[in-house]
Structure 1
Amino acid sequence: METTTPYTKTQNISRIALGAMLVTAGIGHLSFSRKEFQAQVPNWVPMDKDTVVLLSGVAEILLGASIAGLKNERVTTGIVAASFFAAVFPGNVAQYKNHRDGFGLDTDNKRLARLLFQPVLIGWALFGSGALNTKRKEVSTVK
């Protein structure tokens, strides 16, 4: 059971925007951006790249809807979203390492910038969900 934490307007807007972004990206996985997302699937993944893209698209839609819509499990959902962003990071590394174009990332500098944005997504999920506030509060009450 999660501790009830008051959420700021900025956190709520941030959380809903992240959820919308995830749903949009997930829809892209299933339709108009499938080929682009395949560029991020590392060669070592033991599945068909299109299958990975489709499954991750469904996961993103569910995760986005959850982070935007769930009220009682915001912290847990934020941690799951942050974990998801960490889990897909090897795909971003593979795109950089293998010089694969996708989503306008057609130079190594652009692909490197994308890598540096991944921690921002993780922080965004933790901030918007209130996970950072909750964990800080837990740490401060232990002292």
Structure 2
Amino acid sequence: MKYIKTILRILLGAALLYAGIGHLTWLRQEFTAQVPQWMPLGTDLVVVLSGIVEIVLGASLIFLYKRKHIVGWTAALFFIAVFPGNISQYINEVDAFGLDSDRARLIRLFFQPVLVLWALWSTGACKKRV
């Protein structure tokens, strides 16, 4: 079980690194579409800052083994913090990432809790208090 958790933690870290780099480069326009209109910061700034956070979280999930439970809680909180963007994409019917129907955007909403649980379980964060 320990090896499965380690592999899943590293995979989540790699996915966050990929997404974070995408925020800053080739996926920037797609991520821009997810920023809610009510955000007080500029849309591009939100995309850049969230990309930087994803890169830091991804690298931390991979390399900060001794502090992995803290990183797990931080990643879970990040996934919760960006969830309004997913809701906004659904409510405002914004096409991005190939999600070009209400059904596809709705189904995506159910994956955010999976990411939260993945971050907590793969890092053992549920067993340790921060």
Give the TM-score range, shorter chain: over 0.9
Give a deviation string over 1:9-36, Cα, whole Å, max 9, x none. Answer: 0100000000000000000000000000
5+ residue gaps in structure 2? none
Q: Which of 71, 83, 95 is the matching residue for 1:101?
A: 95
Give a deviation string over 1:60-112, Cα, whole Å, max 9, x none. Answer: 00010001110111101000000000000000000000000000010011101
Whole-Å Cα distance in 2 between the matches of residues 71 and 116 of structure 1? 29
The aligned counterpart of 2:18 is 24
TM-score by length of structure 2 reads: 0.96
Shift, 1:132, TM fit: 2.3
Identical residues among aligned pairs (%): 53
Q: Is 1:85 matched up with 2:64?
A: no
The aligned counterpart of 2:48 is 54
The aligned counterpart of 1:140 is none
The number of residue pairs the alignment matches comes to: 129
Q: Which of 87, 110, 130 is the matching residue for 1:116?
A: 110
Across the aligned residues of Structure 1 and Structure 2, the Cα RMSD in angstroms comes to: 1.1
Whole-Å Cα distance in 1 between the matches of residues 110 and 38 of structure 2? 22
Higher Rg:
1
5+ residue gaps in structure 1? 1-6, 136-143
Runs of 4+ in 1 over 2 A off after TM superposition: 132-135
